[in-house]
């Protein structure tokens, strides 16, 4: 059985985590803005972040597909 105390604890914890998430998102926006002001391209930085999250095999597969598609399209 769920008690009021348990539910309130979960809700309170989730609220704190949402606040933390918002603060982190703001920090990320600030770092990207700083990189932009130093002349870096923000969309490219975001793409690099996505690629760095991939495992080596997945990254190699993505790059191979991209190369194939570019070749087919003559890019």
- The residue range of the domain holding 73 is 41-75
Q: Is the pLDDT of residue 13 over 90?
A: yes
Q: Are residues 55 and 66 in the same domain?
A: yes
Q: Model confidence over 35-54: pLDDT tens digits?
A: 999 999 999 999 999 999 99
Q: Are residues 36 and 62 in the same domain?
A: no
The total domain count for the chain is: 2
Q: Are residues 66 and 36 in the same domain?
A: no
Task: For residue 65, give the DSSP letter.
Answer: H
Predicted pLDDT of residue 2? 84
Give the rounded percent of residues in the chain with a pLDDT score beyond 70: 100
Mean pLDDT, range 19-31, rounded to an integer:
98
């Amino acid at each position: 059985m769920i008690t009021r105390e348990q539910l309130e604890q979960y809700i309170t914890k989730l609220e704190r985590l949402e606040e933390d998430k918002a603060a982190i998102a703001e920090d990320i926006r600030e770092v990207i803005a700083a990189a932009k002001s130093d002349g870096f391209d923000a969309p490219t930085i975001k793409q690099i972040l996505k690629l760095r999250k991939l495992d080596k095999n997945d990254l190699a597969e993505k790059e191979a597909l991209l190369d194939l598609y570019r070749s087919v399209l003559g890019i």
